[in-house]
Amino acid sequence: MKNLDSKTVTSFGDEWSRFDQSGMTEDEARKVFSEYFSVFPWDILPPDAEGFDMGCGSGRWARWVAPRVGRLHCIDPSVAIEVARVNLVDNVNVVFHCASVDAPGLSSTSQDFGYSLGVLHHVPDTAAAIRSCVDLLKPGAPLLLYLYYAFDNRPWWFRVLWRVSDWGRRLIFHLPASLKHAVTDMIAALVYWPLAKLSQFAERLRMKVDVIPLSYYRHHSFYTMRTDSRDRFGTPLEQRFTQTQIATMMEKAGLVHVRFSEKAPFWCVVGIKD
């Protein structure tokens, strides 16, 4: 049995076909990339490094990674792989694979680096998915992950709010695609945008904004809020992990020197294959 959830794969294919990231400005796209890759050790990659983007979606990360490396394998089991083909048409060093994390079409110990951002918490067995990624790496190669956090660095009421929102997600993801888009856009407009603007205002007053839910979006566009609202509330399968749980999974998979970013989004983390 493949380590994927078919309904979630279909959901992401729909999401990235709608939000192909063409609505994001160049400056914001660069800023978001730098946030997610803040702990990635570019300096240890060999010349003309070959690596993989596991769960590439629309290719929004590959757009920035491909010019820095020799070859990049974009892997995704959904129809989003076709969106990535269009978005990355000018990158001749990108190879596309319509494949899953446990059958990616690459040889073991063949890759100089890998990353999987916002993907492996949407598969049935996240620990096994991490092991599958590590298996592709050469010794000494880095793996960058972004996994949904379990609010382990937040107060108790954050977790209560998440629990309430998760009840909503469990209703919304069952909706037909058109209605799901309408509802998640409404959430972006009525929840994400007001809290982002409140955080922006508080920041101008030199107040601490980290305690405000969704304050991360205070410097991001409404397009990004709509994208992430659809991602958060429209996806059938979601798992969350504490920093300790993530470190344990990575270490058991054969990664060492595990290092977390201490800035949002949480948790971005990198490890090196032993």
Residue pLDDT, tens place only, 67-86? 999 999 999 999 999 999 99
Query: For 248-260, what is the mean pLDDT?
Result: 98
In tens, the pLDDT along 94-148 reads: 999 999 999 999 999 999 999 999 999 999 999 999 999 999 999 999 999 999 9
Q: Do 38 and 85 touch, CB atoms closer than 8 A?
A: no
Strand pairing of 255-260 and 268-273?
A: antiparallel
Cα(224)–Cα(240) distance, integer angstroms: 21
Q: Do 128 and 250 touch, CB atoms closer than 8 A?
A: no
pLDDT of residue 90: 95
C-alpha closest to that of 235 among 3, 1, 9: 9
Flag whether pLDDT at 1 surpasses 90.
no
Query: For 20-25, what is the mean pLDDT?
Result: 90
Instruction: Give me the amino acid identity at 34.
Output: S
What is the pTM assigned to this prediction? 0.94
Chain position carrying tokens 């969106």: 83
Flag whether pLDDT at 210 surpasses 90.
no
Task: Give bridge partners of residue 79 from the DSSP assignment.
Answer: none
In tens, the pLDDT along 162-208 reads: 999 999 999 999 999 999 999 999 999 999 999 999 999 999 999 99
Q: Regarding the domain with residue range 6-150+239-273, which homologous superfamily does it belong to in the CATH classification?
A: Vaccinia Virus protein VP39 (3.40.50.150)
